[in-house]
Every structure is written in structure tokens, then in C-alpha cells.
Chain A
Amino acid sequence: MPTTITPTKTEPKPRRQLEDHDHGSGRRPPTDKRTGGGGDNDNWNDRPNGRRGPRERLVRYRMGIFFALASDLMFFVAIVSTFFVSQSTGHFDAYNNYVNEWSPTLIPPILWLNTAVLILSSITMETARRRMFHEVDVMDEWLGLGKPITRAAIPWVAATVVLGIVFLIGQWIAWTQLATQHVFFLSNPSSHFFYLITGVHGIHLILGIFGLAAALVGLYVSRSLETRQIMVDCAAWYWHSMGIFWLFLFTLLVFFQ
């Protein structure tokens, strides 16, 4: 039986009883009292360990990806801190003049378009993610009617991949546009950061596209619905975060140079 059907009705929380061996020294055990469907052998409480309940693995992987993203956030925070420090740092030249060499890099207008593409890709990805948890489709699959969830999600994941690649091509065009204006990585402290931020973010997106591609393959290959859900769900959270990081970085590049 698929592990993903969430019963609409859960057991009421029982009152604390002496048989629980709970003397009030702690809260109730962190167990999810919901069952997998109510059958005799489907009692999650009989599982030996872990957080008992539907979507057990999914929640675990999702939490893993969130911690990884928190770590990644610190990476970008460090680079942005450096951005502000470099921006406000100068030196005294031979004539004792204070020199600040920072001259803002003009943002190629195509980045606005890219940003729109990335926001759109987040929308397609969220649609795909939500399709993965469509309960009517879960029931259809359980009844042996194929993989309706996967069929519904694949176009949206594929659209996200395409939009992601469009975004990356757009970033490349922005770089070439800057290069035709003779603004290179080494031109200025400001341009270091423009290329560094867009480059590092681009590498993150390439990794994300690999993740999406893996999810696409997984949607075809994997028989376990929960595995498919995990792949799309984690790829989606990663993708959304890269979108949010980009909005943050883009705001920085446009308004705070």
C-alpha cells in the first residue's frame, strides 16, 4: 500500500495515562499517532524506529535539503558581506588622496528578462511538486491505473529544466554583453563581484538542473512513489531557494552597487 495516503481523520490525542510510563518529566513521546490507513498490519506504531507516520522518508529528505540550503545561504551571505566590505574600502595613493576604485557595473537589461524566466521556472516547478502529491492520482496508481502522478508532473519538470537552461543562456548573453563593453572579471572590484555572484549562482543552477534531470529519470525509472516524490520535492525546494537567492543577489546588484 502506498505510504502517501494521508488519512483525513486522525486519532484524537489520548490523555496521558499511567500505562504510558510518562511521569510528567517530559512531554509526550514524539510519535505520530496517525496510522497508514487503519488496517491490522498497518500500524505505524509498530515500526521499530524513526518518526512513525506517513511521508516519513520524504520529511527526512526534505529536512536534509533544508539544512543543506541553510548552509548554502551562509555561503552567499559570506560573499555578499565581502561585497559590502569591498564596496566601502579605499586606500590612500601616493599623493595622500583617498581612492575608492569601486565603479558600479551597469547591469545588462537582459537580467530583468532572466529574472522573469527564473520566477516562471519556480512556478512550473511548484506545479510539478504539487502534482506529485495529488491524492486522487495516488489512489489511481494504487488501484493499478499506471503512474498518473508521474504523467502529470513530467511536463512541468521538463518545462523547469528548459526554463533553467534559458536562464543560464541569458546569463551567458549578459556576460558577453558586458564583455563587448570591455567590462571583464578583472576590470573593477565591482565587476569581480558581478561575475563572481552570477557565476557562483549559475553553478548552483547547473547543479539544480542535474538534480532536475535526475528527478526526470527517476520519475520514469523508480517504482516507489515515495522515491519519486522525494526526488521532485527536494529538487523543487532547491530550485525555489536558488530563485530566492537570485532575487536577493539581483536586488543587490541592481540597487546596492
Chain B
Amino acid sequence: MSSSKNSAPRHYLFSTDHRVIGVQYLVLALVSVTIGTLLSLLMRIHLVWPDRIVPFHGPILPEDYLALVTIHGTIMLFFVLTTAPQSGFGNLILPSQIGARRMAFPVANAVSFWLTAAALVILLSSTFVPGGSAISGWTAYPPFSAIASAGPGQGAGMDLWLASIAVFAVAGTISAINTLVTIIKLRCEGMTWDRIPLTVWGWFTAALLSIIAFSVLLAALLLLFCDRHAGTSFFVPTGDLINGVIHAASHPGNGSPLLWLHLFWFFGHPEVYIAILPGLGLTSMLLANFSRRRVFAYRMMIVTTLLIGFLGILLWGHHMFVAGLNPYAASAFAVSTMAIAIPASAKVLSWLVTVWRSRPHYTTAMLFSLGFVSLFITGGLTGPVLAQPILDEYLHNTFFVVAHFHLIMAMAGIFGLFAATYYWFPLMTGRLMSESLGRLHFWTTILGAYATFLPMHLTGLMGEPRHYAQLIGVPNAAGHLLAGTLPLNRFITWSAIFLATAQLLFFANLIHSLRYGKPAPPNPWQATTLEWHPALHPNAPAEASEERIVVYRQPCEYLATAGEELILPQWSTEAIPNIKPE
């Protein structure tokens, strides 16, 4: 790909090589996750020690706290959990896994990366405008977000937030189109639909969801922008009293904030599946690989992936049980939400059966995959609970919900990313990451994750609401109740600090292994998927790029013989002996 004519900026910045773009996305996500984590630590520290003065800033005012919530949520969801698995590893690994040598539209690929980077810059720049960054949370509920004078953060900060997300939506759509066409059209010979690795199925389904969801968000952003600057009232109720002003003349009409909720969550819910689906696929592949087993019920795993994606689009309304929804609609959304538990449980079943009574190789990547399963179960169990309208009535906007989505989306998503990093690091750098540091990183991280997010269920059940800047100083019984959660909240904050500190191990491992890691053999994990094919390896000699790649079997086929493991990669021409596994 690279030639001597290419200068460094052209090669590393404006490259159209999918591997370079993948790394660019990952670096962007790493920067974002660092910022997002520091913001969350600020929030946690302020929550339990509200009097602390932040250096260079001063005391954290309630609007500052809400701005922290907003930027933390936006950055983590869009620029980490969407960008890193889908666009980052999607670019880095996806073409190789299907035996292609490039993405379908390399230039569009670079365009979508640079749009994503621009979106991040726009978002971060909102910190410096008068009024500060947006404070409406990543959901930007109107009518506050629709009226620039509604309060701090709703002026230029909200405009920049909208611009950032609009640019991101365009970038995400372009990236998804690229992913879909690559998977459909660039598969190598023999790579039939039921031989595609489950990771690729995850990317495929997530890309389908992006295609459907992002443009709806774009339409909603356009309408909100009209409300803010053109005097329409799509989302502003007539005669609404906001910040001491009755908005009857400035926003005539019958606008409804619920309309925004519908449009936003039609995007917002699929978005969380976009974040988790690649992790689901990766986990299946890694568990099978390190257990030297087939994926149990491979085709069913494909079906469940698609089913999770399909149901993921249908159930946006469960975010609106409390906001006001036709009770019949609530029932429909409750049923479709709980229906997700069926394919999700089928996936868990397959993972457990795959690992059950095998002798797994507990590498760091395997540990993080198992951690993913663990978090997927613990976080997922509260999903059907929150899907009941009557339970959601009580738990809505409490820390119970925060605990739920942080376990399943944030932590499971991040564990998927860690597994991917440890697993594919040899492909990126030709070196192995340190296993001992990696294990330490895993155990501290999973301990920190559970210590941070499990107690949140309890404070949520005690009634601690989200988005409250302080737990003390609230009058009456509610204040008494809130103050009661303080000890537990202190514990959560210490755990969060511990969890964040544990990530220094990861950075240390990353930097150390980049320079001094053990050189990796060509297929260090004895993997069966095509990204480890000698001809597709990044360091493969130039003449290998002419080699024809043919696939003969599904991934994760192994032959257990006495004392010896026989790996049958997808490109292996050896016939499978007619022996039933075990």
C-alpha cells in the first residue's frame, strides 16, 4: 500500500488504507475515553465531596455538573462505544476477516473518519463558548434544549452540541454504508453467509441499525434547530413557561416534547445496540477460539444477532413509560423489550455451552471475553425489570437505571474493546501485549467495575435520582433519604477512582508492549479466522497480495485428538475427518 512517494502526513493522516483509518479511529476513541473518564471522576468526586474546589475552575455549580453529565455521556456513547468497535476495529479487522484486502470505498472511509474527528472537536469546543457546554444530557430533551434563553448551556453550547451530533450522524452513516457494501460484495471465494465470522455479523447488524437510525436523528436535529432559530414549535408546547418567560408568541403552535422523545429514542435505542453488537460477535469467536471448540449453534447465533438488531429498533418507547405514552403502546413496547431477553439468553446459553467442560486457555483476551459474558448477564438481568412499565415508574431516572446501562453497555462494551485490543494487538504491532500485566489489568478492572456499578442498584432502589449535583442540602424527607445514600456513594466514588487508576496498567502495557513486547508468531492464538491468514497479515511480503484466498469452512473448527490440538483455520484445505466432536 505505502510507497516511497507518500510523505508521512499523507500516509498517517490522510491515508485511505483501512488499517491506518482503523488505528486513527482507535486513537480518537482512546483520547475520548480518557476525557470521558476524567469527567466522570469529577462528577463522582463532586457528588460526595461537593465543597471541593476544582483547580483552575473553582466550585462546581449545578449547571457545571449537568454539563459534565452531558459531555461525559455524549463522548462515551458516540466517540467511544460507537466509534471504537464499529469504525475502529471494523476498519482494522473486518476486511481481513472476510478475505478482502480493502474496504469498498476507501476515500469515503477517510472522509467519515475526518468528519468524526471534526464532530469531536466541535463538541469539545462547546466548553469554551459563553454559557458553557450543553447541560441537557446526551438526550437533549426539549423544551429546554429548544429555547436558547432557557438557561446555561442552552445557547451556543447547545448549538455546538447539535452541530457535533449532526456531523457525527453523517459520518456514521457513511461508515455504515462502507461496512455493509464491503461485507456484501468483497467477501473472498467460499466465504458464504454462514461462514462469516460472528464478529462480522455483529458489524453487519450494527451497520444496518446505523443506516436506519442515524438519519432519523438527523431529521430530529433539523427540527430542533428550526425550533431554536426559526421560530417554529415542533417540540415547544404552547404557552410554556421557561425561565420566567411564557413562550406563547415566540413559539406558537402545538409542539410536543414527546415528539422529540419518539424521534430521539428511535435513534437512541438502536444506538446502544450499535455499541454492543460487535462485542457480542467478538465474544462468541474468542470464547470458541480459546476453548478450542466450535461455536455452539453457529447459525442460531447469526439469527440471534439479527433478531437483537431487529428488536432493538422496535422498542424505543420503553424510554418513555414515565414521560407519557398511550398505555397500550406501553404494553407493546414492554413486550418487545422483554422479547430481547430471548435472543440475548440464547447467546449466553451458546457461550456457556461453548466453554462448558472445555479446557480454556485463560489468556487476557479470553478473560476479558468471560468478563464480557459476566457483565452481559448481570447488566442484562435488570433489563426485563426496567422493561415493566410499572417497575419503571419507580426506577425511572434513578441510579438503578444508571447501574443497568453502565454494566451492560458501558462496561460490557469496554470489556469487548479490551478483549479486541489484547487479541488483535499482534496484528497491529507484530508484538504481544504483556500477559501478566494484562491479567492484573483484567482482575483490577472487573473488580472495579462491579464495585462501582453494582452498589448503584442499591442507591437507585433507595431513591437516588440521576443528574442531582448534590446529595446533601436537600430539605425534608427526600433530603434525609438522599443523605442516607452518602456512605454507599463514597464507596462508589472510591471504587470509580480505583477503576480509573487500574486503567493506567492498560496504558503502561500498551506503551511498553509497543516497544518491548514479545515478537508475535504469525498466528499467536491459534485462531481460525482469516485476519491471521499469512497472505492477509499486515507484514506479509508484497507478492502475497496476489495470492488467492479461498475459504473452505466455518470459523472455530478444531479437532480434539489425544494430547494434541489440531487447528483447522478457515483457509485450511484439510478435509474434516468424519468424527463427531466429543
* Chain B residues, CB < 8 A from A188: 253
Residue in B100, B173, B190, B545 whose CB lies within 8 Å of A68: B173
A67-B180, A74-B216, A75-B216 known; A82+B254 contact, CB < 8 A: no
Q: Is the Cβ of A49 less than 8 Å from the Cβ of B186?
A: yes
Most buried by A among B187, B239, B554: B187
| A39 to B: closest C-beta gap in Å | 19
* Chain B residues, CB < 8 A from A102: 254
Q: Is the Cβ of A64 less than 8 Å from the Cβ of B215?
A: no
Q: Is the Cβ of B216 less than 8 Å from the Cβ of A50?
A: no
Most buried by A among B232, B263, B545, B550: B232
Q: Answer whether residue B549 sits at the interface, using C-beta atoms and an 8 A cutoff.
A: yes
Residue in A26, A63, A77, A82 whose CB lies within 8 Å of B223: A82
Q: Is the Cβ of B99 less than 8 Å from the Cβ of A49?
A: yes
Residue in B105, B230, B548 whose CB lies within 8 Å of A46: B548
A48-B548, A89-B256 known; A64+B181 contact, CB < 8 A: yes
How many interface residues does chain B have, given as a range? Answer: 35 or more
> Closest residue of chain B to A47, judged by CB?
B548
Q: Answer whether residue B238 sits at the interface, using C-beta atoms and an 8 A cutoff.
A: yes
Residue in A45, A60, A75 whose CB lies within 8 Å of B104: A60
* Chain A residues, CB < 8 A from B192: 26-30
* Chain B residues, CB < 8 A from A68: 173, 177
* Chain A residues, CB < 8 A from B550: 29
* Chain A residues, CB < 8 A from B177: 64, 67-68, 71
Q: Answer whether residue A240 sits at the interface, using C-beta atoms and an 8 A cutoff.
A: no
Q: Is the Cβ of A186 less than 8 Å from the Cβ of B230?
A: yes
Q: 0/1 per residue, B157-188, Cβ < 8 Å to A?
A: 00000000000000001001110110011111
CA gap between A71 and B99 in the complex, in Å: 27
Q: Is the Cβ of B181 less than 8 Å from the Cβ of A48?
A: no
Q: Answer whether residue A185 sits at the interface, using C-beta atoms and an 8 A cutoff.
A: yes
A64-B181, A78-B216, A192-B226 known; A29+B263 contact, CB < 8 A: no
* Chain A residues, CB < 8 A from B252: 101
Q: Answer whether residue A254 sits at the interface, using C-beta atoms and an 8 A cutoff.
A: no
| B247 to A: closest C-beta gap in Å | 13
Chain B interface (Cβ < 8 Å from any Cβ of A): 99-101, 104-105, 108, 173, 176-178, 180-181, 184-192, 194-195, 211-216, 218-220, 222-223, 226, 230-234, 237-239, 252-256, 259, 262-263, 266, 545-554, 573, 575-576
Given A30-B192, A74-B215, A189-B253, 14 extra CB contacts under 8 A:
A25-B194, A26-B194, A51-B185, A59-B185, A60-B104, A61-B105, A64-B181, A67-B176, A75-B215, A75-B218, A77-B216, A78-B266, A82-B223, A82-B259
Q: Top 5 A-B pairs ranked by shortest CB distance?
A: A78-B219, A75-B215, A26-B192, A29-B190, A21-B552
